[in-house]
Every structure is written in C-alpha cells, then in structure tokens.
C-alpha cells in the first residue's frame, strides 16, 4: 500500500518532502527510481561492470551529501549531470586525462531549450519539418521515417535496411538533431 502510494508521487513531490522533513527515506525512494538508469550511464562511460556498480554506490552517497547542502530544482537532469561528471573523474583518474571527444560529449551544455511543444502547433513548422526531412542524408531520412512515421522498432529497421542496430540508433539521433537545427535556422530566416 505504502509502495503504491510512493509510486504515484512525482520526483518533485518526493524532493519537496525530503527538503521539508530532511528525512533521508524520501531520498531513498527517489534514488531507487534511477538505479537502473545510473547503472547504464556508468556502464556506458566506464565499460566495466564492477566499476559501474561501485560508481552507482558512490553517486548515491554524493547525492545524499549534496542534497543536504544545496537545493535542487530539476532532480533528474541534475542527477544525470552528477553521474556523467563522476564517470569523467573516474576516467581521468584511470588514464591521467580524459579523451577530448569524451570531454566534449560529457561536458557539453544541454541544448538550448526551444519550446517545441508550442512551435508544433504551428502549421508552418510542420511544413518546414516535412521539407527538412527530405534534406537529411538518405540513411537518416530512411531511419527517422521508419522509426517515427511508420513506428517500427530498431530491430525491425535494422532487418529492413541492413544497417546494424548501432547505426540505426545513430541515424535516428543524428537525424533528429539535424532536423531541429534545420528548422531553427529556417525559422530565424523567416
């Protein structure tokens, strides 16, 4: 019953309960929601199961300590940043320095937020999107179309196109990013 009640609470509510009562139990409930994601992020950067597991434990400790000192507004994005920075430090300790491409990727500031939700109500934006879709590379266009418009899974796209799963994911991610950039550029020009 209690667990069900907690499940219905948002991250923000759990965080507010923690901030007002300073009871770490709320923090425990909140962090449990992200254990799997943290394990994945640590594994992605550290590429070692044991190190990833230890890092998740260290991140938990860091979060408990930091939240006693600072007030955090957007828990999920803050937690993601803490995890990425922790991994970066680990890699630095291990190798003496961090490969430049990883530093750029980890330290890159999040994309400037465009209110796409509002923009998408505009028919002109949808026309631009249709137009920009045709300007993507053939691979990106094919993968984005199959994924978003035909609602196919990565595996189905991989079977249909002959690309590896990794390539499919990359074409979709890059295609989506390029679409955003193209539309933003076109909107600025008009």
For other proteins, give the closer residue by CB, 24 or 95: 24
- Looking at residues 161 to 190 of the shown chain, list those that interact with other proteins (rule: CB under 8 A): 169, 172-173, 176, 179-180, 183
Q: State which of residues 12, 13, 19, 35 lies at the interface with other proteins (CB under 8 A).
A: 35
For other proteins, give the closer residue by CB, 16 or 166: 166
Binding to other proteins by residue 38, rule CB under 8 A? yes
Q: State which of residues 62, 76, 161, 174 lies at the interface with other proteins (CB under 8 A).
A: 76
How many chain residues touch other proteins (CB under 8 A)? 60
For other proteins, give the closer residue by CB, 96 or 101: 101
Comparing CA positions, the residue from 75, 63, 68, 65 lying closest to residue 14 is 75
Binding to other proteins by residue 77, rule CB under 8 A? yes
**What region does 174 belong to: left with phi over 0, alpha with psi -120 to 50, or beta?**
alpha
- Looking at residues 102 to 131 of the shown chain, list those that interact with other proteins (rule: CB under 8 A): 110, 116-117, 119-120, 126, 129-130
**Least distance between other proteins and beta carbon 89 (Å):** 17
**Least distance between other proteins and beta carbon 14 (Å):** 13
Comparing CA positions, the residue from 53, 33, 32 lying closest to residue 42 is 53
Binding to other proteins by residue 78, rule CB under 8 A? no
Residue by residue, DSSP assigns the chain as -HHHHHHTS-HHHHHHHHHHH--HHHHHHHHHTTHHHHHHHHHHHH--HHHHHHHHHHHHHHHHHHHHHS--S-HHHHHHHHHHHHHHHHHHHHHSS--HHHHHHHHPPPPPP--HHHHTT-HHHHHHHHHHHTTS-HHHHHHHIIIIIS---HHHHHHHH---HHHHHHHHHHHHHHHHHHHHHHHHH-
Q: Which residues bind other proteins (CB under 8 A)?
A: 22-25, 27-28, 31-33, 35-45, 47, 49, 52-53, 56-57, 60-61, 64, 76-77, 79-80, 84, 110, 116-117, 119-120, 126, 129-130, 133, 144, 147-149, 151-156, 169, 172-173, 176, 179-180, 183
């Amino acid at each position: 019953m209690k667990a069900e009640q907690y499940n219905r609470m948002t991250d923000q509510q759990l965080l507010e309960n923690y901030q007002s009562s300073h009871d770490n139990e709320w923090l425990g409930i909140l962090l449990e929601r992200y254990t799997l994601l943290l394990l994945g992020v640590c594994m992605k950067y550290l590429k070692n199961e044991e190190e990833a597991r230890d890092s998740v434990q260290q991140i938990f400790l860091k979060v408990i300590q930091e939240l006693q000192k600072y007030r955090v507004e957007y828990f999920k994005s803050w937690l993601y940043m803490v995890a990425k920075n922790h991994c970066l430090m680990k890699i630095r300790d291990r190798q003496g320095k961090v490969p430049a491409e990883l530093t750029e990727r980890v330290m890159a500031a999040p994309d400037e937020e465009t209110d796409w939700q509002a923009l998408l109500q505009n028919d002109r934006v949808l026309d631009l999107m249709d137009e920009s879709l045709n300007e993507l590379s053939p691979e990106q266009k094919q993968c984005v179309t199959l994924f978003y418009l035909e609602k196919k899974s990565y595996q189905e796209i991989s079977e249909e196109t002959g690309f590896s799963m990794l390539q499919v994911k990359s074409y979709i991610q890059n295609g989506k990013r390029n679409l955003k950039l193209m539309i933003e550029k076109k909107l600025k020009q008009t």
